Structure 1
């Protein structure tokens, strides 16, 4: 149970970082949008763990757990690399009218993964409707691989999905509050390494 809670927190900490970003930039996310973001995150974990459970049926339990742990370590290491890698602005920024919810929508989701503030497409200062969908998809894609790994390690799909759904919405909300109050505190921005570090630690403990 303790490992389940820690894993759910690790998968949801990115949401806290998103909330901090919005809080610092005074962007608001209504409660309905928060619930939608949590739902997207929970469903993504459930789907990912279903894929992982299917894979686990064709390999032994010990091998599945080892593979799952290694995947978590790799994802955590990649997250740490992304945290400290210099980011380049795209040459041409996507505009709201360019998005047609097919290939361009996926491209915009990837942009949001790099810069969460881009979810506020109309620069209204509030993330609602389609913008909440894009943000939810971005956060969901970010944790999909870890969901497969969690299933291989034998975690409960329903339990983890519910916990991630709740914590994702909660952490975005707490992050926004923290962002409003700590916008000028430089060390807060340096905590973005925590999700990757936690995933690595969980993977090492499961080896």
Structure 2
């Protein structure tokens, strides 16, 4: 049960982002959906296996405490993420044209605050470079959550595989719903991920 709850918390942002993209007629080609999810899985896997290595040196009561704190802190943040993003968005110059470099921190931050910014060339279709930035923006939570997962008694390989499958499905389903039923792009369900992570945190007490 907790495995599915954690997966839901990780894919909800992708789902909502794709709804917003489709509502604005921005297309993410299927090959880039796979690339985005591969990057996300690589980040998540790095975090999980790093945590597994760290866990081997620590007593169980410490890893249990770390796991609770990680899920609790990220859960609280996700509950109020919409508010934080609105606050930071006030400091972004929305009129200035965006440029993209090999790694542009400002652009990456803008994509994190507003995922629609990933379509920086206004082409209405996400390119390879844009998909990489979008993947990084959507994977910020995954690294921290991955550490928390590594301290749980969960099959890491099965979890990673399920995250990839659910991730791809969330993109496809979100795109379909956005295209057929939604006519606005400012939907915020980050609080749902927060509730999921807080639920997992208190389940481990």
Q: TM-score, normalised by structure 2?
A: 0.89
Q: CA–CA distance in 2 between the matches of 1:126 and 1:61?
A: 47
User: Shift of residue 65 of structure 1?
Assistant: 2.1
Q: CA–CA distance in 1 between the matches of 2:179 and 2:90?
A: 25
Question: 1:44/1:192 Cα in 2 relative to 1: closer, same or farther (>3 Å)?
Answer: same
Deviations along 1:167-207, whole A, 9 cap, x unmatched?
12211221121122332489x93534211111111111112
Residue 174 of structure 1 is matched in structure 2 by 173
Structure 1 residue 11 corresponds to structure 2 residue 10: yes
Structure 1 residue 35 corresponds to structure 2 residue 34: yes
Residue 112 of structure 2 is matched in structure 1 by 113
Q: Which structure features the higher share of helix residues?
A: 1
Structure 1 residue 73 corresponds to structure 2 residue 72: yes
What are the within-5 Å matches in structure 2 for residues 1-207 of structure 1? Answer: 2-85=1-84, 86-87=86-87, 88-93=89-94, 95-96=97-98, 98-102=99-103, 104=104, 106-184=105-183, 189=187, 191-207=189-205
Contact persistence 1:40–1:137 (CA under 8 A): yes
SS in 1 for 2:80: helix
Question: 1:154/1:95 Cα in 2 relative to 1: closer, same or farther (>3 Å)?
Answer: farther
Contact persistence 2:78–2:190 (CA under 8 A): no
**How many residues end up aligned between the 2 structures?**
202
Q: TM-score, normalised by structure 1?
A: 0.88
Contact persistence 1:66–1:153 (CA under 8 A): no
Contact persistence 2:16–2:188 (CA under 8 A): no
User: Shift of residue 128 of structure 1?
Assistant: 2.1
User: Shift of residue 81 of structure 1?
Assistant: 1.5
Give the CA RMSD over aligned residues: 2.1
Q: CA–CA distance in 2 between the matches of 1:109 and 1:170?
A: 24
SS in 2 for 1:163: helix
Structure 2 stretches lacking a partner, 5+ long:
none
Q: CA–CA distance in 1 between the matches of 2:176 and 2:150?
A: 33
